[in-house]
Structure 1
């Protein structure tokens, strides 16, 4: 074989190989903190994964690992997924932030997206939803419906995302019911049905007839149903199996459109790092159907609040608002900036107790 023939053969093989590589599906990975059947946070992220499959068919291959603890275990799981050939990896819990950055630094050609975090790099983007907007609607309903004036709140970890939700729910409950009191139980877990159920029962025994949660299982819903005369709100997912009572509405996280968009950008080469923080208006936060257990007039006012948040006409944190220590935070008509909200580490005036370390 002469030199020209050899070169032509190599070129043909190279073109054929390139074509084959181009036809390979894009591999999309997901790291989950809970099981896909949790009925809440992870369930909704997995629905987003399925939306990617539905949108792109055999052009993508999705993989996932569920129930990955935050910390060292997460770094091992993310590394293994990177080594398996993933083109983009979504890590879907706050505690995966540093492990994601650590793995990404070793795999610069892979794209990473971290949910609810704030650290980025050239190949790490962050994304979250303005859950506090949904908490405003929940607080409005809760403040109107409580008969004991005691609202229980099951919190996961004392991070800004959770603190924002507590403050938003409290402000909007207090706005319609000046006598309302919040009792907060810190569960120090995202998903632990036994712990969550115990927290709900303790709050109910203490007089709470409304339970809000920032944890991922349906155990608080079950505990409230067992107790009777207690209302709840679905967290992250609709949890409609517990309607019309105790679950009267919910916050629904809709990750599908975001995942479809970002995977598409990897496929067409336009993906860049950045931060996305969307709310009700963009559709990333949904308000689950308000059940008939809620009086019609209250349902109407809750939906009006939802619409004003969606349009931007109203902001969940609009002054005057003081901090817990009595110092001024927002003046009359002033709204909170994203920087303060992103790092929120204080309660608003009226909430008792300390934020744990």
Structure 2
């Protein structure tokens, strides 16, 4: 879904020239996870004639991000892509200072004449993976290793929990915050702590496979994120919520070259191919798969919306009335947990 794009001609005069695109990542690229998914898009661009790319990995949020963006601007990059929420303010600042450069920021909400914010409706895939987890738990206790308590992450936890309880109303989702996007040791230890208190499925909003390997070591199941993490934990891996950024970056580069790209706010769903779920683990029964695939088809067609009321919070207060659908502004500012989550958003 494209939300009210702002017209921009800042790049039009450059459209026919060679394009230099710089990517900035918050974690190592490696061979899985969030930064890896974006780097596949960069590599795709690199293969196109007339396109030159570069990337900087493991750039901390804050002043370091601003310096990285400034450096790319000074080297003549036409397009700069920043792929972490905490890069938003630095990019907005640099966008004002460099009006002829096109800026793309993933997961934030600020946009301007030469800066786009873009993301995917990952909560749709989260809901589906929650259905799988809810069907596979035996203890009705599911653990969730989460990064930071920001709306993006809270929204995903809530969607996952709604999916869990759609198939298993007695199940609970226990959340632990690591306050890091990428720290394999911390993520693994957080998962181990959840396993210690009795959960038998581990889900995550983290970049590494640490929680997956922790689950497999304890004989529990796991739900991955960003990429298919089954190779890291083949005996544990049920399914993963995954990204495919190639479609977005190809769309962008084609329109940029044609001079038709419009900066704005873009939020893509499963039907756009940006978010999806991975292949299922062999242990997931056929009837569970069929049920999940049926809901996936309904989400794509628009027949079903994940946050359809009644939706209650942890205190039992109705946040979305019966028959209503949570509007995007509620989803984008979500700072409360739904019924069934054990934990706090603070």
TM-score by length of 1: 0.90
Helix, strand or coil: the match of 1:310?
A: helix
Change (3 A) 1:317 1:294: same
| Preserved contact between residue 311 and residue 338 of structure 2 (Cα < 8 Å) | yes
| In the alignment, structure 1 residue 27 sits paired with structure 2 residue 20 | yes
- Select which of 48, 51, 57 maps to 1:60: 51
What is the CA distance between 1:265 and its match in structure 2? 2.3
Matches within 5 A, 1:52-201: 52-54=45-47, 56=48, 58-201=49-192
Cα deviations across residues 18-49 of structure 1 (Å, max 9, x unaligned)?
Answer: xxx98752101110011110511001000111
Matches within 5 A, 1:1-357: 25-37=18-30, 39-54=32-47, 56=48, 58-228=49-219, 230-242=220-232, 244-356=234-346
| Preserved contact between residue 235 and residue 252 of structure 1 (Cα < 8 Å) | yes
| Preserved contact between residue 160 and residue 344 of structure 1 (Cα < 8 Å) | yes
What is the CA distance between 1:96 and its match in structure 2? 0.4
What is the CA distance between 1:143 and its match in structure 2? 0.8
What is the CA distance between 1:176 and its match in structure 2? 1.6
Query: 1-side partners of 2:53 and 2:210: how far apart?
Result: 29
What is the CA distance between 1:327 and its match in structure 2? 2.0
* Structure 1 gaps, min length 5: 1-20
Greater RCO (Cα-Cα under 8 Å, separation 6 or more): 2
| Preserved contact between residue 28 and residue 263 of structure 1 (Cα < 8 Å) | no
Helix, strand or coil: the match of 1:345?
A: coil
Query: 2-side partners of 1:97 and 1:334: how far apart?
Result: 32
Helix, strand or coil: the match of 2:272?
A: coil
| Preserved contact between residue 185 and residue 199 of structure 1 (Cα < 8 Å) | yes
Query: 1-side partners of 2:342 and 2:282: how far apart?
Result: 32
Query: 1-side partners of 2:36 and 2:256: how far apart?
Result: 24
Larger helix fraction of residues: 1
> CA RMSD of the aligned region, Å?
1.5
TM-score by length of 2: 0.93
What is the CA distance between 1:355 and its match in structure 2? 1.0
Larger radius of gyration: 1
Helix, strand or coil: the match of 2:175?
A: strand
Query: 1-side partners of 2:124 and 2:270: how far apart?
Result: 7
What is the CA distance between 1:184 and its match in structure 2? 0.6
Pairs aligned (count) = 333
Larger strand fraction of residues: 2
Query: 2-side partners of 1:157 and 1:23: how far apart?
Result: 41
| Preserved contact between residue 243 and residue 291 of structure 1 (Cα < 8 Å) | no
Query: 2-side partners of 1:299 and 1:350: how far apart?
Result: 23
| Preserved contact between residue 85 and residue 108 of structure 2 (Cα < 8 Å) | yes
Query: 1-side partners of 2:140 and 2:296: how far apart?
Result: 23
Change (3 A) 1:163 1:38: farther
Query: 1-side partners of 2:313 and 2:204: how far apart?
Result: 22
Helix, strand or coil: the match of 1:235?
A: strand
* Structure 2 gaps, min length 5: 1-13
Cα deviations across residues 144-184 of structure 1 (Å, max 9, x unaligned)?
Answer: 11011110001111111100111111112112212212111
Cα deviations across residues 43-101 of structure 1 (Å, max 9, x unaligned)?
Answer: 100011112223x2x31001110010111111001111111111111100000000000
